[in-house]
């Protein structure tokens, strides 16, 4: 009986070790496929493929983790405005679904306190404005799983006639790639694509979906 019990325990340990090693082996593969890339060119290629399929889940995972709250802010503002001013037959249903998504992810858009507001003048540097927006995005969307939130938002409007001709990501050839430290930029047709390196991997910045 003791011998049988020990055999069972050894088999369980063996299975656990094999399973653990398999996970460790697969992790870099999965990360390379869904989270950034080894080079800006690899990220761009993956984003083009995802954009052509309108695969927002993959596209969001190609955006740098530090940039995702800003991506959520931009997408939410864009879709929110579309829903607010839409006057088609499904306007009310669209507004209802949009609000359901806001509730699901516990999004609460509140006015900034006076102490938080940025007083912008014509002399305010763009870097200061950008830093303020990123701080605002982190406060509103830092708790959100952006890899689910953005696809849920885009699913609201993706199949609408107004979106039929909209390009999700530039499909022209990549050119003029310039890398400076952990930042890079390139051209795709008339569009400029920006990249950033985080944790040793390259990603897109938050302006991926304009």
Tokens of 208: 């991926």
The pLDDT of residue 30 is above 90: no
Contact 177, 169 (CB under 8 A): no
Say what the pLDDT of residue 114 is. 61
Question: Sheet harboring 174-180: ordered strands across?
Answer: 174-180, 183-188, 191-198, 201-204
Please report the pLDDT score of residue 110 as a whole number: 78
3-9 mean pLDDT: 45
Residue 198 pairs in a beta bridge with 201
Mean pLDDT of 30-50: 82
Q: What is the pLDDT of residue 35?
A: 84
pLDDT digits (tens, 9 = 90+) for 122-157: 889 999 998 999 999 999 999 999 999 999 999 998
Average pLDDT score, the chain:
83
CA–CA distances in Å: residue 106 to residues 97, 100, 141, 150:
14, 10, 9, 14
Low-confidence winner among 22-36, 50-64, 122-136 (lowest mean pLDDT): 22-36
Do the Cβ atoms of 40 and 177 come closer than 8 Å?
A: yes
Asked if residues 171 and 52 have their Cβ atoms less than 8 Å apart, the reply is yes
pLDDT at 6: 47
In the predicted model, is pLDDT for residue 10 greater than 50? no
Band (48; pLDDT cuts 50, 70, 90):
very high
For residue 56, CA distances in Å to 21, 128, 143, 150, 152 come to: 31, 30, 19, 7, 9
Three-state SS sequence of 24-93: HHHHHHHHHHHCCECCHHHHHHHHHHHHHHCCHHHHHHCECHHHHHHHHHHHHHHHHHHHHHCCCCCHHH
pLDDT in tens, 85-127: 998 888 999 999 999 999 999 999 877 666 678 888 888 999 9
Q: Using a cut of 0.75, tell me whether the model's pTM lies above it.
A: yes
pLDDT exceeds cutoff 80 at 7 = no
- List CB contacts of 36: < 8 A, sequence separation 6 or more: 43, 61, 62, 64, 198, 201, 202, 203
* More reliable by pLDDT, 202 or 16: 202
């Amino acid at each position: 009986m003791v011998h049988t019990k020990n055999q069972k325990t050894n088999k369980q340990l063996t299975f656990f070790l094999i399973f653990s090693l398999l996970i460790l082996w697969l992790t870099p593969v999965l990360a390379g496929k869904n989270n950034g890339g080894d080079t800006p060119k690899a990220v761009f290629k993956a984003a083009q493929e995802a954009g052509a399929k309108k695969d927002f889940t993959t596209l969001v995972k190609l955006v740098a983790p530090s940039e995702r709250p800003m991506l959520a802010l931009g997408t939410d503002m864009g879709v929110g405005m579309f829903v607010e001013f839409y006057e088609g037959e499904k306007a009310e249903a669209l507004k209802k679904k949009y609000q359901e998504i806001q509730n699901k992810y516990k999004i609460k858009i509140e006015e900034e306190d006076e102490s938080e507001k940025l007083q912008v003048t014509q002399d305010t540097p763009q870097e200061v404005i950008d830093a303020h927006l990123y701080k605002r995005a982190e406060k509103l969307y830092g708790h959100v799983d952006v890899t689910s939130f953005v696809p849920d938002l885009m699913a609201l409007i993706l199949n609408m006639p107004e979106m039929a001709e909209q390009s999700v990501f530039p499909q022209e050839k990549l050119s003029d790639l310039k890398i400076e430290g952990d930042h890079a930029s390139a051209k795709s047709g008339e569009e400029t694509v920006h990249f950033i390196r985080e944790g040793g991997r390259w990603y897109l910045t938050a302006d991926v979906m304009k």
